[in-house]
Amino acid sequence: MTPDSISLLLAPAGAEVLAEACAGFTPGGELRLVEKLRRRYDVAVVTAAVTQASLRHRAVAKFGAEDAARMYFTPDGLEQATRTTVGVHRAARIGATLPGATVVDLGCGIGGDLISAARAGLRVTGVERDPATAAAAQANLAALELPGQVLVGDAEAQDCSQYEVVFADPARRADGKRVFDHNAYSPPWSFITDLLAGTACVKVAPGIPHEAVPDGVEAEWVSDAGEVKEAALWSGKLYAGTTRRATLLPSGATVTSAPEVDSAPVGQYIYEPDGAVVRAGLVTAVAEAVDGWLLDPRIAYVSADSLVATPLASAYEVVEELPYKEKALRSWVRTQGIGTLEIKKRGVDFDPAVLRKKLAPKGAASATLIVTRIGRDAVAYSCRRVARP
């Protein structure tokens, strides 16, 4: 997509073609749709409309059907956009601390965070270096009838002193590949740490090392429906006085402390902490919540003798301990008639997909196999997943 493509679709004639493209869109049917529309419309507007219809279809998972049907996207902008549930959580936290604050979003993309912030009553300005993406962000604010402006420019060139909050989402891709090293972000990490000297929120990858977080800054790891989505660094007036936090959406459950707990042999249940809890290094909070213990002090599995409902972890009832040997596990699968086999592991180096193929499950029963390390030994447990209440 280009700025001209967005402009074409915003014009009355382009809006008509876009509406028709969205109404006729089916995944995999793009070429047929293009051919159909080209009989009556200019090729440039048809190409832009069908591309946009495809992007809107993909955007439903992040933005919901109602918003996605009205928004404008670029392929990269959609890929990098924050999921609405996460953006709403973050905007609500800013709004609760600094109601009606002025917020500048450096690297705003197609405006996902601008939308959440504006809906939270914050006064927003976006900055985006790519003109097409900036055009999409401005169009999205207008389409959703939200106030705010989007400027085309580089994050590092902006005077942020006029804003109460700086939000930044540094690029974590280079040459089309995901960047995991925070020192390879764009803008650079030195720029990010300068922002964090004031009141700021910076979105970073969940793999951010704990030691990379500056003093006096909170790192919050966020998961949505069990999937770790990001970490956010909070500073200045947004700093809540804690070093690490795990927040689980959509429940909103949050944990900030990791008490000392013991290690002991497996009990009746094994608890697998949510990924955000693990990333934050707060696994022992799960043990405290379920009156349990760690199976191994270095492994993120908790065990307990009672079943306790907690949003912080998934629970599995232990059926039996098994030898971690392929022949024994294959016999277990065959004897129990297991056809649906979930394999989970921590601290043991193997590919679950490869092991599943070797075990060849074919029956009607289902089971979970948890493989982990206790001390130097690998152990396996036959388990039943317990449905969350």
pLDDT reported for residue 184: 78
pLDDT confidence tier of residue 389, bands split at 50, 70 and 90: low
CB atoms within 10 A of CB 193: 17
For Cα atoms 332, 341, 352, give the angle at the middle one, nearest 5 degrees. 100
Name the residue ranges covered by the structural domains of the chain: 3-66, 79-249, 269-386
Mean pLDDT (whole number) for 352-366 = 94
Does residue 273 surpass a pLDDT of 90?
Answer: yes
The residues, any chain, with a CB within 8 Å of residue 254's CB and separated by 6 or more, are: 245, 246, 247, 248
pLDDT exceeding 90 applies to what percent of the chain? 92
* Among the listed residues 138, 149, 192, 139, the one whose alpha carbon sits nearest the alpha carbon of residue 167: 192
Does residue 383 surpass a pLDDT of 60?
Answer: yes
pLDDT reported for residue 160: 94
pLDDT reported for residue 3: 76
Put simply, whether the predicted model's pTM sits higher than 0.85 gets the answer yes
- Specify whether the CB–CB gap between 73 and 55 falls below 8 A: yes
147 sits in the region (left: phi over 0; alpha: psi -120 to 50; else beta) called beta
- Specify whether the CB–CB gap between 347 and 298 falls below 8 A: yes
CA distances from 38 to 32, 44, 46, 53, 207 (A): 10, 9, 6, 15, 46
Going by their DSSP bridges, the two strands 365-374 and 377-386 should be labelled as antiparallel
281 sits in the region (left: phi over 0; alpha: psi -120 to 50; else beta) called left
Residue 371: phi and psi, rounded to 5, are -115, 130
d(CA 223, CA 39): 47
CATH number for domain 79-249, candidates 3.40.640.10, 3.40.50.150, 3.40.605.10, 3.20.10.10: 3.40.50.150
DSSP reduced 3-state for 345: strand
Does residue 388 surpass a pLDDT of 90?
Answer: no
CA distances from 217 to 90, 133, 165, 338, 372 (A): 16, 30, 15, 48, 34
pLDDT reported for residue 354: 96
Mean pLDDT across the chain: 94
Does residue 172 surpass a pLDDT of 80?
Answer: no
Mean pLDDT (whole number) for 15-42 = 95
